[in-house]
Copies of this chain bind each other. A is one copy, B any other.
Amino acid sequence: MNRVIDIISRVRQLEQQFSKREQLVADFVLSNLEKVSALSQFEIAEATGVSVATVNRFCVTLGCRGFRDFKIGLAQSVAVSLQYLGGSSKESSESELLVTQVFGALVDTLQLARSQLDSITLEKAIEALADSQRIAFMGVGGGSANVAREGANRFFRLGIPAEAYADGYLQRMLASTLQSGDIVFAISASGEPLELLDSVAIARQYGATSIALTRVGSSLASECHIPIEIDIPEDQDIYKPPASRLVFMAIVDVLAAGAARKRSERVKEYLRRIRTSMVSLSKDTGPKPIGD
């Protein structure tokens, strides 16, 4: 996707492979990521005690045409990196660091997921969902169960009957009531929960189309007609809630937006009704967001 060399990665990659003086420049760059793009070659040379030509050579070593390209590339690299999202200051408070970590992990995970999503599969899923008579969302475990619930929350608004139960027994019972024209939508990060696999098999037996949002190559992916497969590495920070479940919700949102656009005239009417029905429930004195 990116034609642009990721300058920061490249500097880190070549760490300790630079010549003596170039390594001084590299160290300076890594220690002053946000400032460097605003400095001239001369200023960097002065700060590091090398010549301006060495600064230029450092840029060429990195694969840039010269210092000008290096500055642009670095500015971009800093801008997109988590470090930039992390803000400037060494004076970050504890909560600012937390925000950085949680939000940054989410942004990274969104980008990772985006690079894995297969557009043909997404389009098949959107088509199937837009045309369905009924959708049964299923997920087990706190995170996936809530993604399923959010799925139902998004799709009922399109005028499609959409249900989600977190209880495996109820899911199995729900699956038994599905038929051709209906969809069973199974959500699981691992793709291996037995209860979920059983429920999907039951629904398929009765003619339902099955969609999965799950891990690449999992049993659930194998079992479903339309598998949306992404691999998200497990987060090593056990104290931080995993970003993957929010990414799963964002993917469900993509499907909901796609299906809404395919049924747009009908959907507009349902959205209008929903909004109308909500007006009297708030202490509302003007044009304010009233949820959705």
Contacts and interface: CB of A to CB of B under 8 A. Distances in A.
A142 B155 CA distance: 11
Interface string A129-157: 00000000000111110100110011000
A194 to B, nearest CB: 6
Interface stretch (A46-54, A72-80, A176-184): A72-80
A120 to B, nearest CB: 8
A98 B289 contact: no
Contact of A291 (B103, B144, B149): B144
Contacts of A290: 189-190, 192
A90 interface: no
A99 B288 contact: no
Task: Indicate the member of A244, A257, A260 with the most B CB atoms within 10 Å.
Answer: A257
A207 B192 CA distance: 45
Contacts of A291: 140-144, 188-190
Contact of A283 (B71, B192, B284): B192
A142 B146 contact: no
A170 interface: no
**SS class of chain A's interface: helix, strand, loop or mixed?**
helix
A253 B146 contact: no
A96 interface: yes
A94 B123 contact: yes
B85 A75 contact: no
B271 A238 contact: yes
B103 A250 contact: yes
A37 interface: yes
B268 A240 contact: no
Interface string A92-123: 01111011011100110011011001010011
Given A114-B103, A190-B289, A290-B190, A239 B267 contact: yes
A285 B17 CA distance: 35
B79 A268 contact: no
Interface of A: 1, 3, 37-38, 69, 71-72, 75-80, 84-85, 87-88, 93-96, 98-99, 101-103, 106-107, 110-111, 113-114, 117, 119, 122-123, 126, 140-144, 146, 149-150, 153-154, 188-190, 192-195, 197, 215, 219, 232, 234, 237-242, 244-246, 249-250, 253-254, 256-258, 260-261, 264, 267-268, 271, 278, 281-284, 288-292
